[in-house]
Structure 1
Amino acid sequence: MKRNAKNDSAPAPSKAILEQERKVLLDLGNDITRIREKNDLITLFKNRIKGLFYFTHTIITLIDHKDETYWPFLLDNEGSPIRTHPRYKEMVQAHFSLNDPFIQAVLHSEEPVSFLLEDIMDEPKSPPFLRVNYEGGVREILMTRLMKEGKPMGFIHLYSDRTDSFTAELRGVMKGFAPQLSSAVSNIIKNEEILNKEKEKSFLLDFSSEIAAVRTKEDLTRALRSALRKLDQNSGFVIRRINEDKTTLSAYVYDLGTIKRDEKALQVLVKTKYPINDGLQNRVLNSAIPLLFNVEREIQRGITSSYLALWKKMGFRNFVGVRLRNGENNLGILLLDIQEIKIELLQGICSQISTALANIMANEQVSKKQEEQAFLLGFSSAITKVRTKADLQAAIFEVLAQTMNTQLAMIRVMESDGIHLNVFMYDASLFANAKVNFDKMSGNTITVHEQYTAQVLASKEGVVFNVQEELRNGSAYAKLWNTTGYKNMYGLPLRVGDKNIGSIWLLADSLGPLLLKGICSQIAIAVANILANEQLIAYKKQLEIENDYLKEQIKTIYNFSEIIGSGETMQEVYRLMGLVAESNTTVLILGETGTGKELIARAIHNSSPRKEHLMVKVNCAALPANLIESELFGHEKGAFTGAIDRRLGKFELAHNSTLFLDEIGELPLEAQAKLLRVIQERELERVGGKQVIKINVRLIAATNRNLEEEVKAGRFRADLYFRLNVFPISLPPLRERLEDIEALAYFFVKKYSRNTGRNIRKISPRVIQQLRSYTWPGNVRELEHLIERSVLLATDHTLNDVYIPRHTDSDKQEQAFLLNRTLEEVERAYIIETLKRCAGKISGVGSAAEVLDIPGNTLHSKMKKLNITKRDYFS
């Protein structure tokens, strides 16, 4: 029940009562001006009012508008009858909702409002402190709102163990005193904020002075421990630093505070590298503000990092995570076992820790670098003078022996194929006790798949092989290493950028990884420069030759934009091309002259992994016999009369590409033998040269000859034929591709119309029929030339005439063939052939009857008589 007065019809207060109220308010106002601490306010209020009015105790609560709650601010601990209640501590620390009807009645009333606890304490949403007070003997509460700048800032609560304590006079005093009390509370809050800020400033100033003296990790630990003890006696901390791999964090400095130490767990925490992206550490590093974590809750969320389980085992419950950042760079994180701390204060602490941490890390780096700089500076100075392999070897031997007490076992460099490694440099004196075995093993060309080499090239900073361990594994290399007396073999990759160019092998008892990295990078650059200098002239000359060859090839490239043909025979060709294009298999293209063998070769090359390189073409029929070897394999300067400079052959030009040997059947037998060797060994020697050059060339050969007959006749080597005939592709003659003639004709008409400026858009049916009826001894090339001539002679937009030769050798051969057959057989065969060429059309324009120059009915009769059916000419 809400009670604003004892009796709504009570008479107005007497003059004496009003005077007493005024005096009380005046005395309270004078007393408030002397208040400095917040507890003084409750004492003053109680002492002044209790002599005039009856109540048990009072408190002041403040409103938090952000989360719509109110909470205890000033407490009358001495007078409170509930201070021994089990829930007293809970009530003191709790926040209560502003949205319950009880408090809303107070918020909307300008007068003090009283309530009987038994009427409201069990209502829905009623705050629990009402029942707690009732259980402590309180029966009535009087509440007056406190205002600031027209907005409620809190309440003053008066409690009584009677139901008649809150008289009209007391209500009048509370109403009159509320504004002064509001001002006093506001001043107290401001004074507390000022004092807290001064304390924080003083704390940060002292901490800054301590941090300024920090030079080592130990200094940082002491300074941080001292500062945190001032905030929380039980606090512990750990600073984790981002490791060089940029993917993990490790403990850098730490202090467990008062947590019971578990040495085994502690050692695990200190030595383990924890991934940054573990769902917790990355959140801290990505957050601009400190984050509060609960160990149990993070484990339940699925964070699987082992340190959470260890923390739980060691007794940690809650912790704060703060990123440590120097400028734009994350250095690490601070994990703090502390229950309560202001964010602004914590950020100020971490800002200074970050500066100190950056300085310590910088000092550590400086110290390490100073130790290495003298060595690397001397080595770098020696390397800068290197121009040859001998210079580099002298520089390496001197520096390694004097500074690092180690010796160079070997340097191997990668060949251009990216697989084989050859010996580049070694110290022969190192293996004097095992010279025979060393000479034998060092002379071998190894590959990137060799056991030790594969491990080294796959590593980031090299691999250390313990000689005795490798001996127990039965390694033949370890037996050789053991003769030197050193404990370890250090294998390191030589890289320029991200590319492996070789490996370096050093024998020593112990070597620092940072020094090794610096040495290898400089040796790698020196080796790369030497190799580049050795090959620069060769590459320059090769580029000049390739440029000339390109210009020549551009003029002679067969200018088809696509292959025309959709019939069954060509579909089979396409199928074979598709099967072989992606491989490195040698291809032999067979077919009559003019069938498009070079076009097929280019299509296979352009569909292969080698398409980024130029396909090199050699016309074997056009090569003079005395220059074939030089043209194919190249020659050295002075190899023969007229060889004024070194020349790269077509095989070298086609390295990592495709070499097309056209008209291979025309190659002389002597050249065939040398070609066979190159194909078998995948290596060659230039004319007049001694150097063996490895090549990676895919061969495509073509011929219009019957190589089997050539082998039988002794004009072509059988072994070379078998080497070339790995994957034969036979191109059909045009007379067997009648279905493609029309498409080819339109293609060439379009091509030459564009080239000559004509506008021919159509070919007459009669012309198509003429083209299909011709035997095409010159195949597609003959068709192309015939269309080109016909386009030039055309007079309108339709190609009405073609100029087909009337007598050819093939006609004579066909006549000779017919002489050996009966008249009926000849007539039947001729009619069937004509029907095939006319696509089965018997009569009408472009029909077989028109070609045979007989009436259609006559042709029907002859077909019936000769038993010619559709099966014969549509088969």
Structure 2
Amino acid sequence: MKKEADTLNVSPTSSKASLERERKILLDLGNDITKVRDKNDLIVLFSKRIKCLYYFTHTIVTLIDHKDETYSAFLLDNEASPIRTHAQYQQMVKARFPLNEPFIQAALASDDPISFVLEDIMNNPQSPPFLKVNYEGGVREILMTKLMNADKPMGFIHIYTDKPGGFSTEFRSIMKGIASQLSGAVSNILKNEDILNQEKEKSFLLDFSNDISCVRTKEDLEKAVSASLRKINPLGGYVIRKINDDGLTMSAYVYGSEAIPPDDELLQEVLSAKFPIEDGLQNRVLDSYIPLLFSTEREISRGIKSIYLQLWKRTGYKTMVGIRLRIADRNLGILWLAIDEVNIQLLKGICHQISIAMANIMANEEVETKQREQGFLIDFSNDIASVKTKPEFETAVFKVLENLLHTKLAMIQVIASDGFHLDPFMYDRSLYQNAVKDFDEIVANRINIEEPYTARVLSSESGVVFSVEDEAKTGNVFALLWKTTGFKNMYSLPLRAGNQNLGTIWLLADSLSQLMLKGICAQISIAIANIQANEKVLAYKKQLEQENDYLKEQIRTIYNFAEIIGSGDEMEKVYHLMSLVADSNSTVLVLGETGTGKELIARAIHNASPRKDKLMVKVNCAALPANLIESELFGHERGAFTGALDRRIGKFELANHSTLFLDEIGEMPLEAQAKLLRVIQERELERIGGKQTIKIDVRIIAATNRDLEEEVKAGRFRADLYYRLNVFPISLPPLRDRMEDIEPLSYFFVSKFSKNTGRRITKIAPGVIQQLRTYTWPGNVRELEHLIERSVLLSPEGVLKEVFIPKTSASEKNEVALLPNQSLEEVERSYIIEVLKRSSGKISGVGGAAEILDIPGNTLHSKMKKLNIGKADYFGK
């Protein structure tokens, strides 16, 4: 039977030493848990760190799968496990155990660690088999601790011991104390593994894309697919079936398996057969946009007669995944893959690449079959095949057109991403040497798919031939431009990938073969599709690199929140406001003088918010040139302005579902303020030069050292933007108003710069602290930091005995200048009292009022007596 967890509350009779020990253990373990990054770290934590404190045999972490109501092993301490050599060990490691058994239900119902004597529960009808196996290995008791994630159980920590009653009250208390941190550690490990898996998938698809881009024949495809699929499915086979020309049957196109000898008769029969599409399996795959998983035995029992099922059964393929291969809305065939677990996104990515490769191969096969006698098409195909960039493509096209067809390219236009406009992709400017100005004007004006000539070409099957002379008579500006070249005809064909229009090609010549043109355009279409796909991959890669660089830049400061030091009343008010607003999505306006730590406060709010898992993006509005602010914030499309060579993702998009920190918001120009206000209000933006509206979910934290109300009155800041930002203002106190924090801040900076400079300064002389407190700090914490850094560099000893503070600060002079109209004696008395307050009542010595006033201590005593200044005037107020 189960042993109820001992009470985890410290009893009144517990010794102070015991409580201190437990507190220290929890603190040390908590620090260790924060360092956990992967499974190995967690194993070491249990197998070495905790085992040094308490006795147990081994530990296992299991995770719950709420979809099928089971739990299974996640982390194993194989070295310490007494059952690792047991015959059932490997089977149990892979097994999934139901959650509805009494043993695990008791663990789920308990909020505290709960222990069970194995002998009492292992033989119960629904008890999991691993209890009995552990008992056979010498284990006698198990302690179960529930792991939670967002108020939902995510798994358990199983701790085993071979000593009955071996789990002490203190150990249970420790396990309960660290349960939430362990839950967080396991959750982080899962997230890290998921990120790694996603990165591996991206890397795999990029590698596969590179491999598949070189495919030109079925043999190349077989090698590329076999090599790639072997990485994710070493033991499984595959077959790619292609839809035949009759549209009713399918045949093997590419095949790969190491499980069947190549000369196997049944295999050869399957590879040579034509299987009807409507066979109960293949038609279901072609109609599905996601991969389908089939059980070989189940499909045979359903009456499917296809012999390929018999081949799968005999080979030992219990489950097969079928994924359709498709370009645009055209089905090319099916990929059948022997695999047990399906990663839908990965398989869809693989099939997309295979589909492109198959489309390329099939197009090449068709060209070779129908136009074998025209050798120039083969040459052209070879030239295009290696093209990866637009300049390479341009060289290949110009070479073929001029050397083999004796014509020139008037224009290739590509349909833009909006699906409506067309952009010039390539043209031969030398054609229009007699009308350069007219040509430049036409190119500068974007046309769309509804332009009459373009619409006719895009709607045609095999292109349109325009008579230059006849069209020029209509006065059409395009036809008049064509006439200046001296050619008789304009040949225009649609560029398509499958059934998708990519753009149009326009060729000026006297006479061209339509058959040859179709062959050329097919190759050009494929090349353009490949170039566009390659550009997208490169753009995505560049975006990832930019985000990675940005992340590396930010990661150096994202974990330095320990620098927010201060425990005085003023900072407590700030902390209270931060705690109130952190969990919300409200806009925060951080106000304060230069150097008060506004960015640290913004980062702390972000890291305490639900958006903490994503990177906080920072923009310094004062550091951006006025002409680049809009591009930096909202991004731009390629060609939006001079110098916009690539698409740029703005900081708002980068901060989607995260936090955007707008530092020095008061420095933003009025024009940019208006555009910023619209984005904040509408929660949507458009990149410069773009037409697509992009929805965003961004939390705004703004900061400024300016008085925005005065800026609004002066007309330098928009009132409506100010009201949008001033939802939850947090004012940071200047350092002169939080003198109690000077000492801890000074020690922090001394420790920091001692490490950086290799000095061993461990103390600060009392006189130095007194000096620091008497200064008004116009530069606030940042000024204190730089002053300490300089003092540490100049200090030769282990004690900081001297700091280099300006004798008279500008703020002190301002204070004297702002005194009201008083008599000289009253002014002198007020000033001496203020100086005494800043020096904490110290009259003589280092940091005393006499030193600040630059008079002898006796003289100051005499003046105080003469002016009737007592302790009540500068203490307790």
TM-score by length of 2: 0.41
Bigger radius of gyration: 1
